[in-house]
Structure 1
Amino acid sequence: MATTWDPRHPRRSGASLLTVLLPLAVLIVMAVAVGSWLQFTERQALDTVHMVGSQGADRVDVEANVQRVDAAARELALRVRVTARGALGEEEGTAPVADLSLQTSAQTLGDLEFKAHERLTTRDVQVVLTDGSISDYPFDTYETDIEFWAQLDGKPVPVRMLFSNNDPLFTTLSLRTEIPDPEGWYRALAERMESVVCEAGDADSSGWDTVRLLAPHALTTARLTPDARTAGRTLNRASDSLCQAGHPEQAAALAEQALGRLQPELGNGHPDTLTSRNNLATALQDLGRHQEAADLHQQTLTDRERVLEPDHRDTLASRNNLATALQDLGRYQEAADLHRQNLTDHERTLGPNHPHTLGSRNNLANTFRELGRYQEAADLHQQTLTDRERILGPDHPHTLGSRNHLAQIGTSPPSGSVVRRLLSRFRSRSLG
């Protein structure tokens, strides 16, 4: 049978196959090369360790490694390993010679504490991301501040931080590894902290939780800044807010730090120093340490009368606080004398209708009640209640307080109806 040749299926020669396979091979080699290069550069980026801080022999090394970045939750997981070098550590740096405290930036959720002579364990902390948006994927970028300060036995010690990234989906693009003017930077940080604490304090009860969260960072900032007045004002304001919020232990700690910072630099008679002493006394009073509180209030009153004027509002506040502390000690007659003096001065300097004047009259009435002078107490409470209803309104907390005080006095007419009116008013407010 004869062989026929079909021109629709020509035979391919070796040369024609080579022209097809050679470009394909080149593309495969290029793809492998590019992939290897990308893997190398990615691994090199992940292996890069950024170092900042002290190179001295006696220091605390902080190795901070990013484990994972959660863009949706706007936080990253940071693994922290601490080593105490030189005279600061023992057992080849695996344990500190004294209690070690590692304070962090505001974006890092929690400071780290290590006990003396105990092994330094690795800790995981969460860091809040700032700026950036996940909607920019895959080109989204984020920023945060990762900072560490160390204190050994309550004293600052040098720190060296070694920062690295172990999340393959993110790359560290830039890192500020030094502060050209650390003193100026700490001063600016302290001023910013003062602004934030004061802003939260001005919000009254709605800002108290914020102040409580900021308090540890305010303490750290106060230790670092060279500006004692800014540090003291911040701690004083935070102490006052925490005392009002019902956290006297934290308030006392902040006031003690403020007093310890201000007194050596500004002196015993400086107004900021006196504010710290007043805040400490008030916190001690709330803690039930009445005698210590009375002694501090007496000292503050004496200094304010000498440094300021007898009619200065801070002087009058100290006299009121001392009277309250004496009441807690059962020294009612001394307290009544101070409250009467304050009432006279308030009426003369501020007028009979000023809220501070009404507060002084209320406090004097309470002291009369403790002394058993019920009719005088009832008359003063009735006068205060009438003025507060007219000036502050019937539903103001101070007005309700006056009505309650009046109801508690057995000679007040008629106490039962006043109590029922008070309860019904509270009930109507709670029900909207």
Structure 2
Amino acid sequence: MLAAMPPTPTTPPEPGEAPIRDRGDACPGALRLHAAADGLLARLRLPAGRLTSRQVRVLADAAEEMGDGSLSVTSRGNAELRGLRDGCGAGLAALLADAGLLPSPTHERVRNIVASPAAGLDGLGHADVQLWARALDAALCAEPRAAALSGRFLFALDDGRGDVAGLGGDVTLVAAPDGAVLLAAGTETFRLAAPGTATAAGAPAGTATGTTAVRAALACALAFLDAAEAAGTGAWRPRELPAGQHPDWAGALARAAITAEPVPSSFPPPAPPPPAPGPLGDRALHVLAPLGRLTAGRLRALAEGADEVRLTPWRGVVVVGPSADRLPALAAHGLVTDPADARTGVTACTGTPGCAKSLADVRADAARAPGGPLPVHYSGCERRCGHPHGTRIEVTALDPDTYLLDGAPVPRTALAEAVAAARTKPMES
């Protein structure tokens, strides 16, 4: 039954203790809608952010007919429809299912997979992890136990360029130049040996390695579920497990017949700066959605002539198929196509009036943010929802007319000047 879910309460932990989750994860999904101040909210998991052009147009129609007319891109490259009217759940589910966006109703909230968005497009990287993402999605949906993962458990698949390895994945796979794969799970890292047998004739390069990587990722996810069940604290992610109750990652890989060698590593690596908008080789473009919002008109412009689009963890879109001469047309629809655009690197939470917990209309203030090399995130409260990973300037509302910046309160009337100074000053290492 479709329903709007209330927030999940938790028992506050003592300092240094793991949290105790008193109830199951109520993270919103496509079938489990969340009641926000601006209406119902649906969060669609899109493995690797991938959408066909038809699916993009379906979401544009859904946003116009059922919601507030726009789609929000999350920091995991997923999509949110906001302002949904009461009673639309069944119709929305049918629409998404018909478009192929609900391959498994029981697993729809656990399909959290980020992957290098430019993999296979620009000649960089060591493997096409977009293919891995599709295979992992299929493996997750086919494993009944995987449905017990929380809606926050994250897989990160990096093709070796280092763009998503630092995004806080619970299981992270990184393609190595020699055909091997590095796997980070919790605080441990393993090297998965390259397969010793040749791939089948006609199979894409890296298929055998990708198969091993997918099996290893699934084995680690199930090992976490074993550890979470034994701990009995309702942990949603490995970092929430009590001290000393770590998953048996090595044992899980061995039982899956995967050769894995423990290696010293410094995971998670620092998250790199967000990639700039512009061409990606001669097969694709990268543009940014202003404050992570794509209107129905922008969605249709992105889908026009595209082979596919990929939403990114930086609230951008990789458009596969068109040439660079489409950049002016996309800019005309309000998308960010120029790295010098002041909107580059500016993100914000929903703020008022959409979020009842927010203390200010942060999106209005973020829209007036001055440009600068450092990313900046505007938050309506101390929860700082949707903040990007990596080095950034944090601007947090204290009340409708005051923000916290660099540890000091700043009047809203002086905010633009303060943000301009913060975005251009050197950051401490």
Rg bigger for which structure?
1
Tell me which of the two structures has the higher relative contact order, counting C-alpha pairs closer than 8 angstroms and 6 or more residues apart: 2
TM-score normalised by structure 1 residue count: 0.23
Larger % of helix: which? 1
Larger % of strand: which? 2
